[in-house]
Structure 1
Amino acid sequence: MRFTTYAYEGVERAGVVRDGVIHPLPPGTTVLSLVEQEALHAAGGEALSAESDLTVDQVRLLPPLKPPSIRDFVGFEAHIEGVAKSLDGLEQVPEEWYRAPNFYFTNPHAAYGAHDDVPVPAGCSVLDFELEVGAVVGRAGRDLTPERAREHIVGYLVFNDWSARDLQKPEKNLGLGFSKGKDFANTLGPYLVTADEVADRRDPDGFLDLEMTVTLNGELIGRDTLANVSWTFEEMVAYAARDAWVRPGDILGSGTCGWGALAEFWGRVGERTPPPLKPGDEVTLTVERLGSVSNRIVPGRTDVYLPRARKRGRTPRP
């Protein structure tokens, strides 16, 4: 099943999508509440039994759910290879990358819908996209094995982890992770697709073989498959749940696929070709079985709040 959250005639609702038609769920029902209750399929089946003439073209698609948290992994070796050269001047993937499926927490309150305009963040002149798949947790868990973790994944969605590369690079130098280079926008959608819809594309090692593509202003510039990720989503969930809880609605990003970001091109080619995103550019990310998100870049704020530190004396107080 494909679940959506949408705005229509000024009202936000949740529904189930089949063949481009939205079958509304009862007023007040949210996709997140159904995930928390482990009631997606029951509610979805009831909604699909009712007639509807509302199509996805008539509504504004919102993020399918409001996630409590978003962990973004770095699961594709090809992406790390290109970006490490572009941002850090490294000629090879850092050895630390191979040791565990590392992640950072990004902003769950900065989500945009599948076709929303995305403004350039303040102070950014090197804007980039990142093509990912997000797995949605459907059941709380802690200290899970990968085998048990499969039961805790309720579905998947397309995830664009927008990046302000010029803001991101100096933040990395502090060693605390990303802040304003990442927390301004992520696109989630177009739907939450339940795990059973892609189960037949799982290979013997547990990887989902789903084609991933990105077009920039209508031109195909990147292609990969989710099967090239170096850890399964079950392994990522298990790692995230080590000594910690994962909760219903949490999203775990796969990391950017190979050729899924401009920074990769820059690292491999040695120059910024294609150039950083600018207002008017349109980025479309498509994942087989999951759908497409397509966002146009628009101007953002021109004022930049950037308070510099006050230098203090280094003499300790008595």
Structure 2
Amino acid sequence: MRIATFTHHGRVLAGVVDAGSVLPLPEGLGLLDLLVDGRLHEAPSLAGDPIPLDDVRLRAPFEPPTVRDFVAFEEHVEGVRRSVDGGSGVPDAWYEAPAFYFTNPYAVAGPYDDVPLPPGCRAFDFELEVAAVIGREGRDLTPESARDHIAGYLIMNDWSARDLQSREMRVNLGPAKGKDTATTLGPWLVTTDELEPYRDGDGFLRLALTASVNGAEVGRDLLSNMSWPFEELVAYASRGTWVRPGDVLGSGTCGNGGCLAELWGLRGRQDPPPLRPGDVVELTVEGIGAVRNTVIAGAEPLPIPPARVRPRSRP
């Protein structure tokens, strides 16, 4: 089953996608409501008459309460580290546990929305990922039990201001502003049962991933090249805390051109060049679909003064 959120004749609705149509759910009932209430399985019985997909504008499937982004592809770490922080290889600590950071849930973009350049950014980049969406709350889950807590999957583009990110990480913080402007989610939620046929013998989802800029392919990989399957990412995220319905957990960027910075690190130069206004980025994931965003000009940064060196007086 695929659940989308869309605009039709000025109304924002959720609906079940069926071939070239979407069957709308009652107005006011969104995908996040279904997840929180544990009613996702009821969606087909609640759906109305079909509307052609060509007649609607797809939006982000829902507004997630939290977005965690992991870094689960070894090849991505190898390539991107040199261009972001000047390092080489993969840190030993990466192999010990599936690291993640929290990104901005207020900056979610839809599958076909325009994405503005972050203020002050001169090295804008895309990142091709798949994300799992939590359907049941849980805490201190095992990888085996975590599978039952995943409602489905969607495509995630973790847009990145590489120059801002590089500066932040020299302070041993971040990603912060470098990841703050946009995260594309879409085109819809695909429930876990639809992707089970793609699961390999090691428990990974073997989905083909491709990235193109202005129609030219720049990246191609398999989701099964993750070093941890999603069940282990969910289990780690739940360690000592809660994961709850609607939480989004990104796989991290795939390798072999899953972002421009990986290619910059490998080639020692910005080739292909950073994204500019007018560039169109399309990400495709087998079994899920595609998202396509156009980069547009963003706001100019408002001035913030540098730090003042203070006297460190005491009361």
Same fold (TM over 0.5): yes
What is the rounded CA distance, in whole Å, between the counterparts of 1:65 and 1:243 in structure 2?
26
Corresponding position of 1:234: 231
* Preserved contact between residue 206 and residue 232 of structure 1 (Cα < 8 Å): yes
Match for 2:160 among 144, 160, 163?
163
Deviates more, 1:166-175 or 1:277-286: 166-175
Question: CA–CA distance in 2 between the matches of 1:167 and 1:75?
Answer: 22
2:276 maps to 278
Greater mean alpha carbon deviation, residues 297-306 or residues 105-114? 297-306
Separation in structure 1 between the aligned mates of residue 186 and residue 119 of structure 2, nearest angstrom = 25
Residue 45 (structure 1) shift: 3.9
Structure 1 counterpart of 2:191: 194
Q: Confirm or deny that 1:243 pairs with 2:240.
A: yes
Q: TM-score, normalised by structure 1?
A: 0.96
Deviations 1:270-308 (A, max 9, x none): 110000000010000000011100000010112434332
Name the aligned partner's letter for residue 14 of structure 1: A
DSSP-derived class of the 2:179 partner? coil
Counterpart CA distance in 2 for 1:311 and 1:20 is 61
Q: Counterparts of 1:45 and 1:222 in 2: how far apart (Å)?
A: 40
**Corresponding residue of 2:2:** 2
1:115 deviation in Å? 0.5
Alignment-derived partner of residue 308 in structure 2: 310
Moved over 6 A (4+): none
DSSP-derived class of the 1:278 partner? coil
Q: Does the aligned pair in 1 maintain the 2:16–2:43 contact within 8 Å? A: no
Within 5 A, what are the aligned runs for 1:1-318?
1-47=1-47, 50-52=48-50, 54-258=51-255, 259-314=257-312, 316-317=313-314
User: 1:69 & 1:182 partners in 2: Cα distance?
Assistant: 14
Q: How far 1:176 moved relative to its partner?
A: 2.6
Deviation at 1:114, TM superposition (A): 0.6
Count of residues in correspondence between the two structures: 314
Cα drift, residue 6 of structure 1:
0.8
Distance, in Å, in 2 between the alignment partners of 1:45 and 1:3 is 13
* Cα distance in 1 for residues equivalent to 2:128 and 2:302: 28
Higher deviation after alignment, 7-16 or 238-247: 7-16
Aligned amino acid, residue 228 of structure 1: N
How far is the alpha carbon of 1:310 from its aligned partner? 2.2
In 1, the alpha carbon distance for the partners of 2:302 and 2:279 equals 23
TM-score (norm 2): 0.97
SS in 1 for 2:105: coil
CA distance in 1, matches of 2:39, 2:176: 35
Moved more, 298-307 or 155-164: 298-307
Unaligned runs of 5+ in 2: none
The one-letter code of the counterpart of 1:266 is W
> What root-mean-square deviation, in Å, do the aligned CA atoms of Structure 1 and Structure 2 show?
1.1
